[in-house]
Structure 1
């Protein structure tokens, strides 16, 4: 994925290698099945990684720096469906303190036209203002990986 600024210049590149399994937490116990996202900012300079961790039920991700040191952990809910916002907690890897979250905002049923007019998803990413800019870019990458793994669905087959 290429993320550009308002002048069209690419400022962040996200790369994820193909994996056979999509949203299964226990498959991440094997290195060949765990999803890993590489974040480059600027393009050509790796600033961090988001790596799926082994879990029985709950989705867990490690946010790592360019040297694969774990900086943060993202903890998702066991069930990623529902009719309210879905929160993925972000904690510090050193002391398990909450430092932010990634939230999938669910459309309200009182606004049915919004769902009819768009297939866009709405996410929120929060983190400390003092967080290093490279780690902020990696957190944005984590948001896209979570969206891909849990909320994107293949297009419905066309009927003619």
Structure 2
């Protein structure tokens, strides 16, 4: 019969259900895929790659930078962009080792107890050299082996510095390697319009160590031809005298300020302003060398140290600008 379409023979219901279950069911254990594989003899072990620690995996990929993945707890060193070490970094500042505290010694002056010679190096300020604008002075205090001992910074406002120049009152703050202010030097303003022999025109410097505790004064004395000072204790009792040369601006040579006893019979030390050429003179970058006995009282060493700065401001800083007669 041509109009009848042949159909598949009917299957029992149980057999159809078994076929559906067999396509979705998961076997209890995977089949043995290695039943047809025959193991051959073991070959030689591959040597580890040179230059890399054991336990690192190096993927061999063409045209790709190998990445190292540690299997242990260590991590490879990685450099972030812009964080590579620079080869032209300036040398670190070498500080003098901090001494142990000493009895009857103000904190911070233990450094001076171990020294008989220090150098005061003023920073060269290019702004002053080009514009004649006076900035706060800064000094590095070093020992003979070029180790930093102190840092001295001036704390004065712009108007006072540029209006009075070397006649200005100032505050100098001395800090150690930890940034602690261990000493303060203050110079009050003294009128210079009157006669030089008048006591009110004589310059004075007060030294405090620690800040707020006065340990002495440096007082100027009138002299016709040379610088003269007296170093005093906290009660303003004279202990030493300082005498400078007749020509304090020693062009081409050092200027020596001698520290003597009160009677002038014995020499205790000296404050030497080194000659470093015309460039340092024009830029007010002075270099002083201070010498004193090793066994000298540490407070007197600090007073000689403070006298150096009064000498620097009075004789080696630029004078105030002269006003025109018009």
The TM-score with structure 2 as length reference comes to 0.43
CA distance in 2, matches of 1:92, 1:37: 19
Alignment CA distance shift 1:97-1:32 (3 Å):
same
Identify the residue that residue 122 of structure 1 maps to in structure 2. Answer: 287
Q: 1:21 aligns with which of 180, 184, 192?
A: 192
Q: RMSD of the alignment, in Å?
A: 2.4
SS in 2 for 1:145: helix
Q: 2:299 aligns with which of 124, 134, 157?
A: 134
Identify the residue that residue 45 of structure 1 maps to in structure 2. Answer: 213
Q: CA deviation at 1:119?
A: 4.1
Alignment CA distance shift 1:50-1:128 (3 Å):
same
Identify the residue that residue 6 of structure 1 maps to in structure 2. Answer: 177
Indicate yes or no: 2:257 matched with 1:88.
yes
The TM-score with structure 1 as length reference comes to 0.84
Task: Please tell me whether Structure 1 or Structure 2 has the larger radius of gyration of its CA atoms.
Answer: 2
CA distance in 2, matches of 1:71, 1:115: 33
Q: Give 5+ residue unaligned stretches, structure 2.
A: 1-171, 322-326
Q: CA deviation at 1:97?
A: 0.8
Alignment CA distance shift 1:2-1:72 (3 Å):
same
Q: 2:272 aligns with which of 96, 103, 115?
A: 103
Q: CA deviation at 1:94?
A: 4.4
1:72-112 residue CA offsets vs partner (Å, 9 max, x unmatched): 10000111122100000110114531111000001157xxx
Pick 1 or 2: higher relative contact order, CA cutoff 8 A, min separation 6: 1
CA distance in 1, matches of 2:266, 2:301: 17
1:48-88 residue CA offsets vs partner (Å, 9 max, x unmatched): 10000111111100001111111110000111122100000
Aligned residues: 149
CA contact (8 A) 2:191 2:200 kept: no
CA contact (8 A) 1:74 1:88 kept: yes
CA distance in 2, matches of 1:63, 1:139: 8
CA contact (8 A) 2:188 2:204 kept: yes
1:2-41 residue CA offsets vs partner (Å, 9 max, x unmatched): 111111111110011012339xxx9553221111100001
Q: Give 5+ residue unaligned stretches, structure 1.
A: none
Q: Which structure has greater strand proportion?
A: 1
CA contact (8 A) 1:86 1:105 kept: yes
1:121-152 residue CA offsets vs partner (Å, 9 max, x unmatched): 10011111111111111111100000000001
Alignment CA distance shift 1:83-1:96 (3 Å):
same
CA distance in 2, matches of 1:40, 1:131: 18
CA distance in 2, matches of 1:28, 1:40: 27
